[in-house]
Structure 1
């Protein structure tokens, strides 16, 4: 892209802040919010390539679930019982923090959530996870196939785990609420192309603006490697797709549904609209990259899921279809650290489709890391130092 003399003059314009947050999604806006709580005197900017919440944070189903992207037993197998428990506690604290905000402004709904088995093997895993979850103090109940399908007005499912603390929000309104409450300057439509250290601080370059800050947080999700290429080893862009139906005449889904190992999910809004998403399982090789597009194959799988398990949706016409780019980490949990050669800049990425479950608490942790001499204990749970060798990002 060429640049005119007028744009060059604009590009030379510089602004200065105490803290610059790159990324106007749930993590970035939460970081700005908590910076104000910790030190209201800080001058903070949120810098985003688009509008606030334009990325994955404004394109998801709005689930506020506890735990990781997988069931608790699988998390124990992957991380060990102690780490799985700590991750659950982190997301439980995230849920508590959101519940203490003004939920009326972002559609807070706390009616529990259902993790539903799509086959016998998953059902067995959910049942075997139950004693571990109860030992960890997780409020959960196992529902057999009949009770699960009766509760959901569904068919073809196996058993499920009902977690009383599951909740849901309007994710875009939550992001914008946090940004407004932060008091930060929203420098939207300024794409950060690179950053570097200068005089102990950080300089962010965009095509029309240069932002200087004493400290910075890179919270651009899957787009982090486009700013710092060396961080691509920690995050891979993965596309998710969703759809929304015409409102159903009855409210039949009282709780968010997360099924088939998380490859499908659904919820019903207060007005009757059904949201459904997923369908990536059979298309993992094609559902990668940054392209914002829906595909007939994945959309057909989402519709098939709805009509198979919720036959009352068969005659609901589809009102909207969309996609969003998520950042997947090598071990499917978030990654944080210092940007290489830029010690005044932190980064956080790799939320693996669960940014709403981590985001507000993650923002608090990042803010605390910036204003304290030592990072909080929770920081070590996510640090990139856990990788002993160069990680490989999974499909």
Structure 2
């Protein structure tokens, strides 16, 4: 049994100073009800407010209490697939357009939440000879299309450097967005789990929202709120830990290893935050439970001590739920008349989630589907995925 720290299941990003919004009590009316106050939901709210919409936002727990505030703090350009794989799967033009769109979105994230983003680049470190070859293929494809990618070979490994990527504090970013949304007129409610979405009426334990449209911006566990999506995505548990500040190593930027299954970065105070080993723990990590487990936490700690050579005490252990799709493309559609779903970012929701949020607002309010088709393909149409529910 591993030692359980006082901050078990509290992310390193949480400084303990946040006051949650009140819960929803009674009935309220708005143009749009947004369910989920993570990065995607708050981006949706930002877009709606910019269009003069009245907005109510709900969260079952609190702002960024899910994966949005409990992830590794990486802002990476591109889609779920490495660039050369995205070119193979989606075609060069679309893969390049998505990559460029994420570069723009990363800048928007930095502007919208000042002080939370550091443009320090990122690195992919190969775990074996096969992955070294895969890195070479990725570099060739990226450089051929004018995207920032350089070969990396140093004492800590061989792989690639991506100068355009960034590190950020995901929880602080969401809290900045939430506070701004309230100042701009949104009504936000924490600790208000949704019990039913009945047409465009949203029920909570102690309240109700009447609205013209509902946008469900929930990544992990999305299929619980919208049963139409069962089988379309699966919820996985992602686990992390953090150490006390250390000078034992210097990690200048976010690092991902073994095709991204392990990922770590060093925070400005010297703390090390690392996640991974989901695939090594078997089917148990396909779970709705967002509680850290001994098995994965032990693997993470062993990696920190052995591979990274860090002996600093473990100060935080936490987990989060994230939605995965078989294609790696997000769920982004109108599942019922007036009810839109967003989620299933396959562990890449910080940037793709924000893009998806803007795409849904353009589709729902403007009938502009260009951004949705960029992410999901030209053959996507609103008629194909619209369910028959009232």
TM range (shorter): 0.7 to 0.9
Q: 1:6 corresponds to which residue?
A: none
Bigger drift between 20-29 and 281-290 goes to: 281-290
Task: Could you tell me which runs of 5 or more consecutive residues in structure 1 were left unpaired when the two chains were aligned.
Answer: 1-9, 391-395
Q: 2:197 corresponds to which residue?
A: 195
Q: CA RMSD in A?
A: 2.2
Task: Could you tell me which runs of 5 or more consecutive residues in structure 2 were left unpaired when the two chains were aligned.
Answer: 1-22, 386-390
Q: 1:302 corresponds to which residue?
A: 300
Once the 2 structures are TM-superposed, how far is the Cα of residue 204 of structure 1 from its aligned partner? 0.7
Match of 2:255 among 246, 249, 257: 257
Match of 1:61 among 55, 72, 82: 72
Alignment of 1:12-161 (within 5 A): 13-37=26-50, 39-40=51-52, 42-104=53-115, 107-144=116-153, 147=154, 149=155, 154=156, 157=157, 159-161=158-160
Secondary structure of the residue aligned to 1:24 is: coil
Once the 2 structures are TM-superposed, how far is the Cα of residue 47 of structure 1 from its aligned partner? 0.9
- Is residue 258–residue 265 contact of structure 1 (8 Å, CA) maintained in 2? yes
Q: TM-score, normalised by structure 2?
A: 0.86
**Inter-partner Cα distance in structure 1 for 2:132 and 2:78:** 18
Q: 1:5 corresponds to which residue?
A: none
Once the 2 structures are TM-superposed, how far is the Cα of residue 386 of structure 1 from its aligned partner? 5.4
Q: 1:3 corresponds to which residue?
A: none
**Inter-partner Cα distance in structure 1 for 2:97 and 2:248:** 39
**Inter-partner Cα distance in structure 2 for 1:36 and 1:299:** 41
Deviations 1:263-284 (A, max 9, x none): 0000000101000000112124
Once the 2 structures are TM-superposed, how far is the Cα of residue 102 of structure 1 from its aligned partner? 4.0
Residue 381 of structure 1 pairs with residue 383 of structure 2? no
Secondary structure of the residue aligned to 2:231 is: helix
Q: TM-score, normalised by structure 1?
A: 0.85
Aligned length: 357
Secondary structure of the residue aligned to 1:129 is: helix
Once the 2 structures are TM-superposed, how far is the Cα of residue 127 of structure 1 from its aligned partner? 0.7
Once the 2 structures are TM-superposed, how far is the Cα of residue 111 of structure 1 from its aligned partner? 0.6
Secondary structure of the residue aligned to 1:369 is: helix
Secondary structure of the residue aligned to 1:16 is: strand
**Inter-partner Cα distance in structure 2 for 1:25 and 1:284:** 28
- Greater helix percent: which structure? 1
Secondary structure of the residue aligned to 2:210 is: strand
